[in-house]
Structure 1
């Protein structure tokens, strides 16, 4: 196991994960296991001091029942002012009842001031927003609830696409398993890439889906919209480097151009040309993150024809240039 290269504190960093009745089980256990496994990895590397002291806390104190029907052992909410490194707010079906508890919301607001950093998983962002901690910040949550979060808390800027978002000392993540991605990113910030990679390998997960990676792919979104064109999308993915005209798509689908264009737009909510553009951008995003190929080569491989064409597509769909996307999100 690798020695983690960064400066280590003489005491373990205190991590508090807030749970409440009907909390999402994986929102609590996913990040918790990342921190616990980090302690194991560091111990195997020969370090005597575990990097993290993990506590699952709740208002009930003795325990809560998660939404999956599994009981979670918890400890009472620590007093405000006691040492704390990271506060993690989990999400789940019980979040609305938690928001309706003014004492709990007030504790979060005050406890967040004790923490070096604060994080939320999935709908935990609603509870964190209710405390005012997210005011003026960029925020992520589950894609299906992003619009609702933005409507209820207009003082925050909700980004519906990313796996997680960091804004200063505040981190927010998307749905369920993205809490694992966020926790691995926190470990990487604390202990370095080598340790985070060792933890990810131990857990048999990707080291890090970059924060800017989409919560779901364009191909999956198109499939979810209507699977009648699933074979066509698979064909497009294999021929992105070629010119893909409307006539070629219609021929592949076995329809006239007019009929294909109408039915495709009805089924997916976008024109064939826009769908192809999105699939090309998605393929280019993967290559920017996973390879060292020049942007010009990637633009050719993905069928844009030129760097400028790809740049315009990135700006239109992602509001960032390909070069900036690679610099910002590549591990």
Structure 2
């Protein structure tokens, strides 16, 4: 996962036209180490005083049975005060937690391990439904592709939005998923088994601004309303009304995070009656008001370029 994120910094150098980032890979003893796919990777030993701007810590496939080596924990505790920032990608957050770096901070990890992190480290405010979280100098992300979002956010902070957009374009990435965005996709969670229900959901997602009655959706896939409701619930585990509200909320959240449109406009575009109706559904679905999500997204994008970092992982 950290090897994938290195591409973000590589292309940031290419887009900037200079070697802004210098990448190094470290391991406790140095030398050749093996990835989870048994790919050999050269590394530098964690010895002596190492001055690094940014540490990015990799995770393991199962942090519950693969505890981090004591040497890494001791090194992170000693090094943390000297680094500008430290990040844990995916289950790398468990390494930061074991080193005591996440105490009294907000953090995230892969959704599958979120509850276990909270159980093991009650002093951490675990938000296991976030793409990534920045709490002061500590960055944590969800699984695999979220590490790319975290790396792209670092590039945007260091080099600005234009360079980040260039990198995202070259890597065929969305520019960029905000940290507060949910790890889950409503369409993936629904996972319909038949093309008919999939087509109905695709139609709904493209027409969220309209009423989207059961009769309308059933007609699009040539079923009676009764048949449609029965098959839809059987395949997705949700009623059509609940599923459509989930799609509306997901679309509204993306617009709140990524645009400057007023909430009245967002409510209208995503099929809510008005901003009050949007707020009620938002609090019910996410446990947070839309204004709070917008404030968080804006805070993430306000920091400008910093000193030239030597990224290490």
Structure-2-length-normalised TM-score: 0.83
| Cα distance in 2 between the residues matched to 1:215 and 1:107 | 31
Taking structure 1 as reference, are residues 100 and 208 closer, same or farther at Cα in structure 2, changes over 3 Å only?
closer
| Cα distance in 1 between the residues matched to 2:110 and 2:142 | 4
Give the 3-state SS of the residue equivalent to 2:116 in structure 1: helix
1:199 to 167, 174, 177: 167
| Cα distance in 2 between the residues matched to 1:58 and 1:291 | 41
Is the contact made by 1:88 and 1:121 (CA closer than 8 Å) also made in structure 2? yes
| Cα distance in 1 between the residues matched to 2:163 and 2:236 | 42
Deviations 1:139-181 (A, max 9, x none): 1111222222222222212212221111111110111121111
Is the contact made by 1:85 and 1:116 (CA closer than 8 Å) also made in structure 2? yes
Give how far 1:71 is off.
0.9
| Cα distance in 1 between the residues matched to 2:167 and 2:219 | 48
Is the contact made by 1:98 and 1:104 (CA closer than 8 Å) also made in structure 2? no
Q: Which runs of 5 or more structure 2 residues have no equivalent in the other structure?
A: 302-313
Match of 2:181 in 1: 213
Give the 3-state SS of the residue equivalent to 1:314 in structure 2: helix
Match of 1:52 in 2: 21
Is the contact made by 1:98 and 1:127 (CA closer than 8 Å) also made in structure 2? no
Deviations 1:252-285 (A, max 9, x none): 673564x765665554344433222111111222
Deviations 1:16-43 (A, max 9, x none): xxxxxxxxxxx2212222223333333x
Match of 2:45 in 1: 76
| Cα distance in 2 between the residues matched to 1:205 and 1:301 | 25
Which residues in structure 2 correspond to 1:90-239 (within 5 Å)? 90-93=58-61, 95=63, 99=67, 101-223=69-191, 226=193, 229-239=197-207
The higher relative CO (CA closer than 8 Å, separation ≥ 6) is in 2
Give how far 1:293 is off.
3.5
| Cα distance in 2 between the residues matched to 1:249 and 1:293 | 28
Give the 3-state SS of the residue equivalent to 1:53 in structure 2: coil
Give the 3-state SS of the residue equivalent to 2:150 in structure 1: helix
RMSD: 2.7
Give how far 1:288 is off.
3.1
Structure-1-length-normalised TM-score: 0.79
